[in-house]
Structure 1
Amino acid sequence: MTIQLPGAGGELRAYTPRTEPLAVTTGAPLTSRTVFSAAHVVADPYADVSPDSPAVVDWDATLAFRRHLWSHGLGVAEAMDTAQRGMGLDWAGAAELIRRSSAEAKAVGGRIACGVGTDQLPATEIGYPYSLDEIRAGYEEQLAVVEEAGSQAILMASRALAAVAKSPEDYLEVYGHLLRQASEPVILHWLGPMFDPALEGYWGSTDLDAATSTFLQVIAAHPDKVDGIKVSLLDAQREIDLRRKLPDGVRCYTGDDFNYPELIAGDDQGFSHALLGIFDPLGPLAAEAVRVLDTGNTEGFRELLDPTVELSRHLFQTPTRFYKTGVVFLAWLAGHQSHFTMVGGLQSARSLPHFARAYELADGLGLFPDPALAEARMKNLLSLYGVNQ
């Protein structure tokens, strides 16, 4: 049995889906690496909304997906950009997500860390008309919500701060204040402009060497308040260089969805832990690979994870910020949700050939628990575009 898939040039080609999923195990906790999956949200498909309306979330399906990740031993990075933070999910929705997911984590014993930002301070017609004190207060409001929920905080990059800060010293002041105030060590998140163009020049410079210097100053001034850093620059060597400069006890969590196998495997001078959007669709396979790594079998780890890079690079291709569309698409094909609808209408952000290739690559990896269901749903999508089988 084959399925006709459209290629980038519009031609149709026959693909034969696999009949059995990849066999993975569950249960044993991960020991050699701390691994978070940034998780997507499931929209309510029956909500009468427009792309500009506040998000309406299907809470049952959203929380069920987090239980799926926890069941494989992964931590959940909540209310991050993978959850469409700033791309359909506003602060009110994110706050509710943080509260609900944190309670669920406590109930099942799952690890969770939640994003803290300033997205309640939106851009206006004249840009971001806020002072540094207002931006700091915005961060403080969100930090309080995360800490009251009992979760670890991830200090995310702020569009408002990127627009308002006039020098590296402004970053040092804002982050220094927040770190002094945090009750527990946080994760600092450096999200590159390929994920969010509004973050160009973060840490006070478009020169990445200068920006790295400021970032390291923030960490060096408060090493006891920094659990780790998440680096999302899609530059493996820069991450390795930065990782080697971190104070003892400060982790590096790779956010490099292009080069994660080699960064997690590491070298004779260290390794990266992981906080990755691609581990949303790769969850069970990624956990299986880390369990192999836990035994000291780096080669076996790479054999499992290296073949996934082609899919990841496909989902995260330019414009990278729309990778969430592919993540939710694969969750639908895998049966984790009953529909392919996204908050903000972002299900339309990628083309049919893009979806077809994502399906082919994911199926080839054995990511679908029920390959027949995935095939049927792919055929349904194709029929909506006029591709009859």
Structure 2
Amino acid sequence: MSALTLPVAGGGTYSYTPRTEPSSYVAGGAPLVSRTVFSAAHVVADPYADTSPDSPAAVDWDSTLAFRRHLWSHGLGVAEAMDTAQRGMGLDWAGAAELIRRSAAEAKAVGGTIACGVGTDQLTPGEHDLAAVTAAYEEQLALVEETGAQAILMASRALAAAASGPEDYLATYGHLLRQATEPVVLHWLGPMFDPALEGYWGTSDLDAATETFLEVVAAHSDRIDGIKVSLLDAQREIDLRRRLPEGVRCYTGDDFNYPELIAGDAQGFSHALLGIFDPLGPLAAEAVRVLDTGDREGFRKLLDPTVELSRHLFETPTRFYKTGVVLLAWLAGHQSHFTMVGGLQSARSLPHLARAYQLADGVGLFLDPGLAATRMRALLDVNGVAQ
């Protein structure tokens, strides 16, 4: 396979020869048993829709659902309508509601595991009182429960703006958890993923915020399946999971440190609900099957080499990691184009995307390396990098 000329930040190029061996991670295999693993899946935009960044999202439903079937075929659960699906960054509540309905129905049809995000993004930007925030949460919780999917109570920009202190979080989450019909996943998303969530749980002091968060969990542990922690702080997550009530799981959302957190230590481990498991799905599933045999070293041998790719995709500004995720889905052949809801394909630089391609190819993510190289060459050509 001929070499590609890839750009580097600040100017200049280098030559990269793609690998020729296809990915060996095929669908099927034994169910995952030692860890519960969700991939937060992206949506596929409709490239033929005549839209603008201010328009409602135009989704290619066939390709979007096909990608979810791909994840289920490898034994992963799907975390639907989360930030990886551009929730709050191009996908509005109407689009998210339709996504939840369609994906939940598809999960029932194929026997896939699904959990869906519950938030408050139907509220217009601006100030809202706590009653309005609570009502918005209730509307979304009811929809998710009607579909039969598990609910993920996501962090709310509106609640962050309306709450005057920790007591407002305790009251709001307590009200919602008391009416949940099935145990939910409680999600703490850090401001690196969404700057509007700065000061969540009533303070920017993470130690104090942790205490409020744990107070919610302790008071309603019978209504909480687990917590998802997305703070990119491995030690804080470890400390948190060691303090959880019995029966409440920790789902790592740490896209920087997931191998060590999932592998765990003598005092416990994390399950997973990760955006990086969108492109890594087949490899991640194979790694967990190795872990199921008790082979922690083999698990780390498979998953550790992917961390450099993940840290690259999630580098600052972290909220734009979705662009690299969709790039890799296109290169891997899961969709026919590199177009995103809201035009977000422009959110990362060409050198960033080129590095993402090289790292993904280097760890053997592509079932068809030739297709990935051809598509990457086309992207480089249209952006003026002579090949």
TM-score by length of structure 1 reads 0.98
- 1:11 aligns with 12
AA aligned to 1:40 is H
Give per-residue Cα distances to partners, 1:36-76, cap 9 Å, x unaligned. Answer: 00000000000000001000100000000000000000000
Output one character per residue of 1:115-160: Cα deviation in whole Å (capped at 9) or x when no partner: 000001131xxxx321111100000000011000110000000000
Matched, 1:36 2:12: no
Distance in 2 separating the partners of 1:315 and 1:323: 5
Alpha-carbon distance between aligned partners in 1 of 2:14 and 2:134, rounded to the nearest angstrom: 54
Partners of 1:290 and 1:298 lie apart in 2 by 9
* 2:260 is the counterpart of 1:262: yes
Deviates more, 1:111-120 or 1:23-32: 23-32
Alpha-carbon distance in 2 for matches of 1:24, 1:344: 32
Residues of 2 paired with 1:178 and 1:78: CA distance? Answer: 20
**Does 2:83 align with 1:92?**
no
> Cα deviations across residues 222-260 of structure 1 (Å, max 9, x unaligned)?
111000000000000000000000000000000000000
The 8 Å contact of residues 23 and 368 in structure 2, kept in 1 or not, is answered as: no
Matches within 5 A, 1:207-226: 207-226=205-224
Task: Give the equivalent residue in structure 1 for 2:143.
Answer: 145
- CA offsets per residue over residues 196-236 of structure 1, 9 Å max, x none? 00000000010001100000111111111000000000000
Calculate percent identity across the aligned residue pairs.
82
1:7 is displaced (CA, Å) by 1.2
Q: Where do 1:263-342 residues align within 5 Å?
A: 263-342=261-340
Looking at structure 2, the residues matched to 121 and 236 of structure 1 have their Cα atoms a distance apart, in angstroms, of 33
1:338-367: CA deviations, max 9, x gaps?
000000000000000001000000001111
Q: Is the 8 A contact 1:340 1:347 kept in 2?
A: yes
Deviation at 1:387, TM superposition (A): 1.2
Distance across 2 between alignment mates of 1:316 and 1:10: 22
- Partner in structure 1 of residue 3 of structure 2: 2
SS at match of 1:224: helix
Shift of 1:8: 1.5
The Cα offsets for residues 70-103 of structure 1, whole Å up to 9 and x where unpaired, read as 0000000000000000000000000000000000
Q: 1:287 Cα shift? A: 0.3
Cα distance in 2, alignment partners of residues 129 and 205 from structure 1: 19
The answer for the alignment partner of 2:116 in structure 1 is: 114
Q: Does 1:22 align with 2:23?
A: yes
Partner of 2:134: 136
Distance 1:10 1:129 in 2: 44
Amino acid aligned to 1:2: A
Where structure 1 has 5 or more consecutive residues not aligned to the other structure, the ranges are none
Q: What is the CA RMSD across the aligned residues, in angstroms? A: 0.6
Aligned to 1:274, the other structure's residue is in SS state: strand
Contact 1:122 1:160 in 2 (8 A): no
Query: Which residue identity lines up with residue 66 of structure 1 in the other structure?
Result: R
The answer to whether the 8 Å contact 2:226/2:250 transfers is yes
* Cα shift readout 1:297-333 (whole Å, capped 9, x = no counterpart): 0000000000000000000000000000000000000
Which residues of 2 match residues 201-212 of structure 1 at below 5 A?
A: 201-212=199-210
| Shift, 1:20, TM fit | 1.4
Corresponding residue for residue 69 of structure 1 = 71
Q: How do 1:376-387 and structure 2 match up within 5 A?
A: 376-387=374-385
SS in 2 for 1:271: coil
Scaled by the length of structure 2, the TM-score of the pair is: 0.99
Secondary structure, counterpart of 1:253 in structure 2: strand
Aligned to 1:194, the other structure's residue is in SS state coil
Looking at structure 2, the residues matched to 19 and 326 of structure 1 have their Cα atoms a distance apart, in angstroms, of 22
- Structure 1 residue 361 and structure 2 residue 359: aligned? yes
| One-letter amino acid of the counterpart of residue 132, structure 2 | E
Q: CA deviation at 1:21?
A: 2.0
Deviation at 1:27, TM superposition (A): 2.4
Aligned-pair CA distance for 1:263 = 0.2
Q: Output the CA distance in 1 between the equivalents of 2:170 and 2:372.
A: 48
Q: Does the 8 Å contact 2:46/2:59 carry over to 1?
A: yes
- Whichever residue aligns with residue 194 of structure 2, its letter is D
CA distance in 1, matches of 2:22, 2:242: 38
1:185 matched to which residue of 2?
Answer: 183
1:231 maps to amino acid = V
Superimposed CA distance per residue, residues 271-292 of structure 1 (whole angstroms, 9 cap, x where no aligned partner): 0000000000000000000000
What is the match of residue 243 of structure 2?
245
Aligned residues: 385
Match of 2:80 in 1: 78
- Pair 1:102 & 2:104 matched: yes
Letter paired with 1:91: W
Decide whether the 8 Å contact of 2:45 with 2:58 is kept in 1. yes
What are the ranges of 5 or more consecutive residues in structure 2 without an aligned counterpart?
A: none
